[in-house]
Each structure stands twice: as structure tokens, then as C-alpha cells.
Structure 1
Amino acid sequence: MSLRLVPFADPGVPDTRSGLRLILWLERRQLRGQFAALGWGMLYFGGIAAAPVAVGIAIQAVIDKSWSRLMLAGVLLLAFGAAKSAADSYFHRAVVTNWICTASRLQQLLFRKASELGSLLTRRIAAGEVVAVSSGDVEKIGWFVEVLGRFAAALLTCFAVVVGLLLYEPQLGLVVLVAVPVLAFSIVPLMGPAERRADLQRAKGGRATELAADTVAGLRVLRGIGGEQLFLDRYRSASQEYRASAVHSARMWSLIAALQVLLFGLFLVAVVWLGVRLVLAGRITVGELVTTYGFVTFMMVPLHTFEETASAFIFSKVSARRAARVLSLQRMDDTRGTGAAQVPEGDLLDPVSGLEVPAGGFTAVVCGNPDAGGRLADRLGGHSPEAEPGDASVLLDGVALDDLPLESARTAVLVQDKDPVLLSGTVRNLFDVPSSGAVTVEQALEAAQCADILDVLRQSLPAGGPTDPMDAVLTERGRSLSGGQRQRVALARSLYVDPAVLVLDEPTSAVDAHTEARIADGLRALRSGRTTVVFTSSPLMLDRAERVVFVPDGQVVAVGTHHELVHSERQYRAVVTRAVLTDEGEPTLEESV
């Protein structure tokens, strides 16, 4: 299979019932490449294995003083060397292509799964584990697919050499026929302990990666509270555990390698001893002994390949189990999302909570519990990752969002959660997303009050370079910005997309009051005539909303303007003023902790 096909138009549907089934599925997808590796590998190994024949003829020709056979030996050496050299590059290209194609296919499958699951992925599997699967595990699985082609070529060449020895010198050939399988399978009893140690090593490595990811993600906060040393100590401890497990695993593989060398060395001594006795008895010539010795030493090449294959299989099996676990994750109800792709526009209704959002209006939702608000915001986006089968779907103009294809649902409703992600790259790259075209980048940035952010970014540009702040580079997850700055830039990106329905979950929680008031005004003006839902408990944002819905316990309790609800709903008043209710249900002036 050519690398020109990478990335694949369709990576396929993997078999995720087990790690072994996933590996077999990947092997089947790479059959053409494996046959190419097998053909070139047999030619390559055959060139190496056949060389002792020419050497034996040459030595015997010198002993017999036969110039014709010496010339024949030289021609054979040139032919075998040319075949080996020609096959070497193509063989290497074939096996590496298998490795890259397999790794690329698996990465595409993982990225597709991450795109399908969204935030559900990191809710079920730690982010560090996902990183480890998509990097180290992918490489190990690709390694096994690559080495399997070399293993098949070495195995068939080894079989051909044994048959040749049986025909060339039956007594020595019989010894080799018995000894080679014994040498090859001598490491089988050690495979179980090696796999268990590799599994432990992989688990420790995933834990260390997870801690590193969490520490880097929270570095700004950790420095603020002086907790970076605590997390550094935790990572150091996890890193040492990983190192110890890696050394523990390496000791087993050192034992396996040492056993192979020891047994092969004893086997080689036995063959030479038997061959010398046959020469002294006059049953074989010196040249035949040299040829036999060359055949036997060649066996070290396939035996080394067998050992590498066993090692690759153990590590890839451990990695494949984890990759299969990620790829097997599904939403609660996969029967949804099969309807027509037509995107409706109209009122938004959640039958579960009773929340109704009129089309074209600016609606604020107050939940009191931020987590409950986040879950409700996810539901409004359709295809909620934790929706149970049979749950009533959110309706947009009477059409169930869960019945729409995921892409169509995302086009109709855009949900920005409370912790939006900014990918690394320039500010201009950040706005390189599909949009309606009705809102310009400048209008979105102005509505989100990003002028001061652009000024700061302009000053960060190198002297003599570009002067446009849109060319400034943001670090991973926007960590070069403060929390409030990240929120405003992410809000500007969502406004630029200009979806039919925009759902914002606490979009100004890290912004000062003065800026928040201007953002609320800009948001209402720019989204005029478009459906906008904001989950917030900020009085500044609520005061700008045309309609406020109070959903304290998963059910709509009251609907009205902010001023109406403040005067009519005691629980609502307690939430938006951060007050504590008394036993009689009246709010006090005491601030809640």
C-alpha cells in the first residue's frame, strides 16, 4: 500500500472486541503491504542464506586447486550480494510503509472517535491516557505490524535453509531441524511474565503522562497558590515508579536475549563438533563443513527476528487493548442521528426540563448549580454524550436534534462550554473555522471586548516582523492569556461562527464587571434576531437578557425578566445575589461560602 493514500479517505470500522482482534483487523487492512514485505524479505534473507554455499565452494576449490570452481564461487557471491543489496532497500521500504500506514490508520480512528465523543472522551478516560494511546501505543501497534512481515520472510527462509541442509547433509540437517524449533520456542515460558511486566510498565507510564498533563494545564494556578512543588513531587514519584517498572520489564527481556544467545552458542558448538567428526571420518569435505557452519550461523538472523516479533507482540497486545478500549466507547444511544440532514430553525425546547427558548431572542438561564447548568447546555446542543436510550430529545422547530446527523446538529446549535479550548497557532488561525459569513472577525472581536487583548498581542510581536496582532502566536490552550482573556477570545470565535442557535455556558465568569457589562451589550446587539442562550447567574448579564428562565433542580420554576424574578422568586434572588436562605426561605445578607 502506497504512502500516497495517507491520510486515508476512510480508515474503516475497526474490530474493537479485544486488543488481539484489533491487531488482526489492522493486519487484514495491510495485506497487500505484508505480501510485498514477504516477497522482498525472502529475496533479502535468501541472499544472506545462500552466501555460505559460495564460500564453501570457494574454500573447497582452493583445497582442490580448482580455478573453475573458484571462478564459479566468485560469480555466485556477486549474484547473491547483488540480490541482497537490491532487495534490502525495497524490503525496508515495504516494512516501514506497513508501519506508517498502520499507525496513521489507527491515529485517524482515534481522532475520529475523539471528534464523535467530544467531552465524553475525557470524562470516561483520563486525558493523559488518551495522549499515551494516541502516541506511544500507536507506535507499538505499528511496530508489530511492521515486524510481522519480516517474521514471515525469516520463517519461510529458515524453513528453506533447513530443507536444503537435509538434502545437502542429512545428519547435520536433522540436528538443525530438531534444534531450531527448540531454540525458537525456548522463550515461550517467559512470555507470560514479560507481558505482565509490560502491562504494568504501560500503566505506570500512562499515570505519569496524566500527572504531567494535569500539572502543565494547571501551572498558572499552581504558581498562584504555591502548589507547583507538591505536584512536581507527585510527578517525580510517578516517574520513578515508571522507571522502576521499565527496568523490571527490561530485565525480563535481557534474560530472554541472554537465553537465546546462550542456547544458540551451545547449539553452534555442537554442530561444529559434529561437523569436525564427520570431516575426520571423511564423510563430508571441509568446504561442506564451512557451508553448513554458514547455514547455522544464518539461523541467528531469523531467531533474532523471532525474539523481536515476540517482544513486539507483547507490547502491541497491551497497547491494542487500551486502543480498543478507546475506540469501543460509544454514546448511550447510537441509533440516533440517522435522519435527514436538513437543518431547522425555530424555537428550542427541552422536554426534560421544560426549558423553552423562543427563536430570535436573547434568553438567560439560571440553574444555581454550575454542573447542572453544564449538563443542560450539553443537552441543548443535541446528541448529549450521556443521554440514556429513550430520553426525550431536545426539539428545534419541532425536529429532534438527536435524530439529525451530528454534523447537522452542530451546525444548527453551537455550545460553548465554560472551559473553551484555544488551540496553539496565530489568532488568525483561531478564526479559520466554518461560519455563516454574516459576522466579520472584527465585529466578533469588538462585541467580545477584545481590543485590549489585541493591543497586548501587538506589543508581543517581534521587532521588524508583522504588526498585525492577528499574526500573534497563542500557546497551547491559550495559556499565554489570562482566564478572562481566553474567555473573551473564545466568545469572539463563537460569535464569528454565527450559528442559528448559540448556547454559552458561563461565558464571562472570569471577566471583571465593567467589561462584562460591555460584553453583554455587544452580545445582545450582534446577536439581534438570532437565538442566543446564556447560562449565567451574573446580574449584569441577566439584566440585558430579554427573557430569564430559572431552572434550580432540573425543572423550569419561573420565567420572566431579571427584575421580575428578583422580586417574585426568593430562591432566584438568593442565587443571583449569592445570599444564604434562612430556614423560612428568606435570603440573608450573609455571603455564601
Structure 2
Amino acid sequence: MQIQDLPYPDPGVPDARSGPRFLRWLFRNQLDGQFKSLVWGLLHFGSVSALPFCVGLAIQAVVDHSGRQLALAGGLMALCSVGIAVGETFLHRSAVTNWITAAARVQQLLARKAAQLGSALTRRVAAGEVVAVSTGDVEKIGWFVEAISRFTAAAVTVVLVCVGLVVYQPALGVVVAVGLPVLALAVLPLLPPATRRADFQREKAGRATELASDTVAGLRVLRGIGGEDLFLDRYRRASQEVRHAAVRSARMWALISAIQVLLPGLLLITVVWYGVHLAREGRITVGELVTVYSSIMILTYPLRHFEEIAMAYSFSRPSARRASRVLALERATDTGGSRAADVPAGDLYDPASGLLAPTGRFTAVVCGDPDAAGLLAERLGGHPSEEGTSVLLGGVPLDELPLDSARTAVLVQDKDPVLLSGTLRELLDVPKSGGVGDEEALAAAQCEDVLAALVQGSLDTEDPLDARITERGRSLSGGQRQRLALARSLVTDPEVLVLDEPTSAVDSHTEARIAEGLRSLRSGRTTVVFTSSPLLLDRADRVVLVHEGEVAAVGVHRELVHKEPRYRAVVTRETDEETARAQAGRESSLADVLDELEEIEETA
């Protein structure tokens, strides 16, 4: 896989049982790139490590006054230089390719998981953690996956050089062969505490990211209640905790780096002292001493990759653990479906609550608990209840349909829909049946003033559809965002449209026009609206009261508001006291009527 071939046609099915298993799965899925990186790494490190032998050969040739050996040494040095240049160039190329392709695979997996879970994702994993995984964590995961092949090439080179030194000059080669493993393994006792500090730092950084994400998302509300300073102080404290954790982690890694510098220096001093002693005794030549000395100097370069792989693993392990936790989440339904992909037609029925939405009718649902209403709306979209029961569409369980078919059949608009940045035309560029045009949807959602505001705020276009919408529509009011989201839902023209409080931020006059436009545009289609607005309820064909998770009453608005106290309490915002007084008044009036009837009977 090359960078220009991204994205992957299919990123595969990850092994998300744990962080290390996920890292191994990523490595196995790009063995071709890893093999290329290993080959170029061996060429590069091997050429670098061969230079000391060439230098030693050249010095010995000068000592022996041998022009032939000097020319040979020069040719070998030129050959090594070419190997270094070619190996370094293609090693860097393959390493970057491995890094980017691994990160891209993780991002594709996360995007696919988010698409499968939908709105359920942020209820099972904090939004800030999802952001942290999809941004900083993918880079650290890619770093470790890429560094494995370079580390392997460095380790093989170190082993080969040690063997070569033992063969070339046994007396000094044994010292080097014993000393280098000590250098490589000396930092192992420090890795567990360094890893723990890195994990702690990542945990603190993740919490700070979550806090920042949640604060930005609720900034408008925080300003409304004057709470932005409070949350700013909280983020400041969280940021300081991240800084302290990062300093503690950096100290440990600085100690590891210092040891990586100190121990090779000690080994170098030992080899020089012992080599000079052997040279005085005539047991080795000057060229051999220079060769061994230069080899140790050069080997500090591949040895650095031992420190890098340890650091990469320490930073990528918590990242991989977080990524695997997100990727291990499963949709309660089978995304492939156990039935044909044909979209069924018929009534929408929820066995758990007894809610029935007849086909082609406008059904309004009144629920006193907003959280319960949100869960019921999700269930109508295909998420089974806690007991595992699924809603039925035309008698077919929705969770047995393929995910694409289920979402084509039923569209659920959340209470707080999100507007992505881009033009209005891009916002409305969603899968649609073609039965509803952009202008019809915008008109039904009463977006005239929104279009005018977008054109007024745009400097380079007079067409509202080409006007840009800022991220999450932050430049628009809450009611304007709601209406644009409603237009986006209407233009898809699904078989069943479920709207959760679509007009909660809209004034009553606009809400009345939206209710009429919604009823007209969705004529003959199944529409379910969760609301407590009398304006919407009065225009519904059927009103259902859901109390404590079950259907308590069914009728029309004007009928239920007079006959059902619980319905009236939700819709008219009556308190329990007012409801009791009204009930007592009705009972008193009934008693007076009965008394009058008794008097009439006695008189007769």
C-alpha cells in the first residue's frame, strides 16, 4: 500500500481485544511495507557500520605504505557512502509510508465504527476520548508500528558487527560483544516506571482534552449562566496536571538518554585503554585499534533505536488501548443484517413501550422525561431496548435489516443535531430519495431568515446554497441551527422520520408555520415527533402519551388535554398542586350537579 493509494478499500477487521494485540494486528497487515523498510534499514545501517573497517584498512595501508590497499580502502568507502545515501533515502521513504498508512488505517477503522454506532458512540465513550484517539493517538500508534522495522534492522546490524569484530580482532571484539548487550539492556529496569509515567501523562492529557471538548461544545450555555470562568479554571488546573505529569515523564526519559550516552562512553574508554595496551605489546595493529574504536563510535547510532522503540511503545501502548476500547464497541444489531436489504413498508411498532406509529400518519409522542424520550427515539431508529427487543417496521424487526437499509427506512434526528462546517449546499448533500427538493425542505422548515443571514454574512456569493456555515453553526442562533437541521432531515425523505424536539428553540409563530409545513410536506409518509408543544400536537393525526416507559393514553390533542391529567400536566406545565386543585374543582362541580339532580327528582 502506497500513500497515493489511500484510503484503503477495506481497512479490515481489527483485533481489538487489547492494545498489544491491536498493535500486532496493524503490524501484520502491512508486512510488505515492513519488509521494505527492513531491507533498506539493513543497507543503511550496514553501510554505516562498514565505514570503520574501511577507515582502519586505510590507516593500516598508510602505515604499511601500501598504495594498493589504500586504493581498495577508498573504493570501499565510496561504496559504503553510496549505500548510506541510497539506504537512508529509501528507509526514510518506506518509514514515512508505514507511519502514514498505519495511522490512516486506524482513522478509517474509527470512522467506520463511528458510522456504525451513530449517536450511541458518545454515550458509551466520552466525546473527548474519541477526539483524542482520532487525533494524537493515531500518530503515536503509527510511530510504533513504523519503528519496529527500523529497530529490527538496527538490532540485526549490532549483532552482525559484534560477530564481525570478534572474528576480525578477538581480543577487543570479545570486550565489545560483551559490552554492547549491557548497553542495550541497561535501561530495561527504567522502562516500567517510564512507561507508567507516560501512561499517567496520557491519561491526564486525555481528561484535559475531554474537558476542553465539552467546554467548547457548551460554551454558549456556559456564557448564558456565567460559568465560563469556572470551567476555564477547571481546564487550567487540568492543564497544569498535564504539565507536571509531562515533566515527570520527561525526567525519566532524560535519565534513560543520559545512560545511553554515558555507558557507550565508558565502553569506549575501556576499549581504547585496553587496545593501547595490546598495541604496545604488539598483539594488534594500529589499523585494528582504529577499526574497533570507530565501530563503537558508529554503533551508538543504531543503539539509539533501542531507546526509540522503548519510547514509542511506552507512548503507543495507552493510545492503542484507548483505540482498541473504542473499536471493540459493538452495535447491538447485526450491521450485515439477517434479512434481505428490501426496505419494508408498514406501521412502526415498539413492543417495549407499546408505541404504534401508523404508516402514512403524523404521530406526536408526549413524554414527561426528556431522557426517556431520547432513548425511545433511539429505539425507533434501530437500537434494541435493554431487554433486547427491537422495534418492528411492517412486522419486520429493524435490527435484522442491514444497517444501510435500516437507516434508509428510518431516520432519527437527535434533540441536538450537529451542523458540519461547509456550504449550505454541502449540508443538504445527503442521501435522498429525490422526492423532496432543497427549496421545498428549506421552505417547510421556515429557513427564509436563515438564508438571508447566511447571504449577509458571506462576502463572495449571493446564492444562499453557496454560503458557508461555520463549524457546528456557531454563528447562527439555536433556532436557526434547528431549522437547518430539520431541512436536512426533510430533504432525505425517508419512509419513517423521527424528530426529537425539532422546534424547542423556535418562537411560537415560526413553530406554527413549521408544524403546517411539516404536515404538508410529509403527507403520506410516516412521521413521529417527540414534543410537548401544543402547536405541533394540535396538528398531529395521532397523539400518544408515554408515561414511565409505556403508552398511557392515545387520542388527539384537544381530547387528551381535557381528559388526561398526566398529559395536561406535561403539555400545559401544570404543577401537581394545580392538577389536584383542578381535579378537586371538577369533582366539586360533579357533586353539585348530582345534588341538583337529586333535588329535581325529589320535587318531581
Common fold by TM > 0.5: yes
Partner of 2:574: 579
Query: What is the Cα deviation at residue 585 of structure 1?
Result: 4.5
Query: What is the Cα deviation at residue 332 of structure 1?
Result: 4.1
Q: 1:284 to 1:93 in 2, by over 3 A?
A: same
2:544 aligned with 1:549: yes
Distance 2:224 2:370 in 1: 24
Residues 101-137 of structure 1 deviation map (CA, whole Å, 9 limit, x = unaligned):
1111111111111111112221122111111111111
Distance 1:83 1:221 in 2: 62
Distance 2:304 2:495 in 1: 62
Deviates more, 1:60-69 or 1:195-204: 60-69
Query: In 2, are the aligned partners of 1:42 and 1:154 still within 8 Å (CA)?
Result: yes
Partner of 1:143: 143
Q: Secondary structure at the match of 1:363?
A: strand
Q: 1:459 to 1:95 in 2, by over 3 A?
A: same
Partner of 2:60: 60
Query: In 2, are the aligned partners of 1:55 and 1:73 still within 8 Å (CA)?
Result: yes
Query: In 2, are the aligned partners of 1:431 and 1:496 still within 8 Å (CA)?
Result: yes
Q: Secondary structure at the match of 1:12?
A: coil
Query: In 2, are the aligned partners of 1:574 and 1:587 still within 8 Å (CA)?
Result: no
Identity across matched positions, percent:
65
Residues 530-568 of structure 1 deviation map (CA, whole Å, 9 limit, x = unaligned):
111110000011011111111122111211111011111
Partner of 1:2: 2
Query: In 2, are the aligned partners of 1:26 and 1:102 still within 8 Å (CA)?
Result: yes
Q: Secondary structure at the match of 1:557?
A: strand
Q: How does 1:153-552 map to 2 (within 5 A)?
A: 153-332=153-332, 334=334, 337-384=337-384, 387-388=385-386, 391-462=388-459, 465-552=460-547
Query: In 2, are the aligned partners of 1:579 and 1:587 still within 8 Å (CA)?
Result: no
Distance 2:582 2:6 in 1: 63
Query: What is the Cα deviation at residue 231 of structure 1?
Result: 1.1
Q: Secondary structure at the match of 1:582?
A: helix
Partner of 2:592: none
Query: What is the Cα deviation at residue 32 of structure 1?
Result: 1.0
Deviates more, 1:245-254 or 1:337-346: 337-346
Amino acid of the structure 2 residue aligned with 1:87: G
2:21 aligned with 1:24: no
Query: In 1, are the aligned partners of 2:334 and 2:400 still within 8 Å (CA)?
Result: no
Distance 2:284 2:537 in 1: 100
Query: In 2, are the aligned partners of 1:151 and 1:309 still within 8 Å (CA)?
Result: yes
Amino acid of the structure 2 residue aligned with 1:485: Q
Residues 46-96 of structure 1 deviation map (CA, whole Å, 9 limit, x = unaligned):
110111111112112222222222211111111110111112111111111
Query: In 2, are the aligned partners of 1:420 and 1:487 still within 8 Å (CA)?
Result: yes
Unaligned runs of 5+ in 2: 585-604
Query: In 1, are the aligned partners of 2:334 and 2:399 still within 8 Å (CA)?
Result: no
Distance 2:525 2:118 in 1: 25
Query: What is the Cα deviation at residue 586 of structure 1?
Result: 5.3
Distance 1:92 1:186 in 2: 28
Amino acid of the structure 1 residue aligned with 2:244: A
Q: Secondary structure at the match of 1:503?
A: strand
Q: Secondary structure at the match of 2:550?
A: coil
* Number of equivalent positions: 584
- TM-score with structure 1 setting the length: 0.96
Residues 328-361 of structure 1 deviation map (CA, whole Å, 9 limit, x = unaligned):
1123465983222110111111111111111111
Partner of 2:595: none
Distance 2:195 2:110 in 1: 24
Larger radius of gyration: 2
Residues 411-442 of structure 1 deviation map (CA, whole Å, 9 limit, x = unaligned):
00000010001111111110111101011100
- TM-score with structure 2 setting the length: 0.94
Residues 165-194 of structure 1 deviation map (CA, whole Å, 9 limit, x = unaligned):
011000111111111111101111111101
Distance 2:107 2:381 in 1: 27
Distance 1:82 1:586 in 2: 96
Distance 2:235 2:485 in 1: 31
Q: Secondary structure at the match of 1:240?
A: helix
Across the aligned residues of Structure 1 and Structure 2, the Cα RMSD in angstroms comes to: 1.5
Distance 1:176 1:439 in 2: 78
Partner of 1:107: 107
Amino acid of the structure 2 residue aligned with 1:342: D
Query: What is the Cα deviation at residue 452 of structure 1?
Result: 0.3
Query: What is the Cα deviation at residue 225 of structure 1?
Result: 2.3
Query: In 2, are the aligned partners of 1:582 and 1:588 still within 8 Å (CA)?
Result: no
Partner of 2:598: none
Amino acid of the structure 2 residue aligned with 1:526: L
Query: In 2, are the aligned partners of 1:546 and 1:561 still within 8 Å (CA)?
Result: yes
Query: What is the Cα deviation at residue 582 of structure 1?
Result: 3.4
Query: In 1, are the aligned partners of 2:569 and 2:579 still within 8 Å (CA)?
Result: no
Query: In 1, are the aligned partners of 2:545 and 2:551 still within 8 Å (CA)?
Result: yes
Q: 1:582 to 1:337 in 2, by over 3 A?
A: farther
Distance 2:245 2:581 in 1: 59
Distance 1:255 1:338 in 2: 57
Q: 1:405 to 1:333 in 2, by over 3 A?
A: closer
Amino acid of the structure 1 residue aligned with 2:55: V
Residues 434-461 of structure 1 deviation map (CA, whole Å, 9 limit, x = unaligned):
1010111000000000000111111111
Query: In 2, are the aligned partners of 1:539 and 1:576 still within 8 Å (CA)?
Result: yes
Distance 1:381 1:566 in 2: 28
Distance 1:230 1:569 in 2: 44
Distance 1:148 1:396 in 2: 51
Q: Secondary structure at the match of 2:264?
A: helix
